[in-house]
Amino acid sequence: MKKYLLFIFLILTFACNNKKQTPPERIFPVKVAKAIAKDSIIYIDTIGHIEQLASIEVKSRVEGEMIKIFFKEGEEVKKDQLLFQLDPRPFKNQLHLYEATLEENLANLSLAEEKVKRNEALVKMKYISDMDFDSLV
């Protein structure tokens, strides 16, 4: 029994010997370099989306096919800067049609004025009625 007591005493003595052990000192290698000043490119590779600060809707006053764009997307534009060019052919065709209609109307006006001049003398001489003459005017 003495052996058991001695054995328990030794175990308790070593177990209670609660000395804090310091962790081993860590050593890190350090590299040294000379500092220089220069421009650098900042590049961030990430996933996300970008939203514009302002959005402007451009509406045309006429319909037509856009054949040329005079700016790049995201580029700043100035007041009165040409932005788009529409195909001018449909507008030129419409202009020619209006010019032809104008010429036709001017020719009809000239013919009507000539009829009035011719018939004025006939009304004075009573060869045509006043009612027929009034329909010419």
Residue 19 has pLDDT above 80, yes or no: no
- Tell me how far apart the alpha carbons of residues 15 and 9 are, in angstroms, rounded to a whole number: 10
- Tell me how far apart the alpha carbons of residues 123 and 133 are, in angstroms, rounded to a whole number: 7
Which tens digits make up the pLDDT trace of 87-119?
A: 999 999 999 999 999 999 999 999 989 888 888
pLDDT at 16: 58
28: confidence class by pLDDT, cuts 50, 70, 90:
confident
How high does pLDDT run on average in the chain?
83
The residue ranges of every structural domain in the chain are: 86-137
1: confidence class by pLDDT, cuts 50, 70, 90:
low
* Contact of 52 with 76, CB cutoff 8 Å: no
